[in-house]
Amino acid sequence: MGRVTGVRVEDQEIAKIWAENFPRRAENELSRQLCALICRIVEQRSHFFGKSGVDPEAKSHALKSLGIKEREFNQFLSER
């Protein structure tokens, strides 16, 4: 059937998805998976801002650009 091409999720949409799903991650598997996917997006975005793991500000810049609180991001990573 039809093929979807060129679909892009905007930064504001990612922030909204995170804000809606982060609080529900413990009880809802889909919410947890969406947060995990956003973590991968943050990792990829970090490469645009500097060398992730080398540039300590790269992750912070990526999180800011996506509207995600660093505290929540780090909390999610520690729960995995």
Task: List the pLDDT tens digit at each of the 80 positions of the chain.
Answer: 455 555 667 999 999 999 999 999 999 999 999 999 999 999 988 888 776 566 778 889 999 999 999 999 999 999 98
- Which pLDDT score is estimated for 7? 61
Containing 17, the helix (H) or strand (E) segment is helix 11-21
What's the mean pLDDT when you consider all of the chain?
A: 88
Distance CA 21, CA 39 (A): 13
Q: What number of H helices and E strands is found in the chain?
A: 4, 0
Q: Which candidate, 61, 55, 68, places its Cα nearest to that of 77? A: 68
Per-residue confidence (pLDDT) for residue 12, from 0 to 100: 92
Q: How much is the pLDDT for 30? A: 98
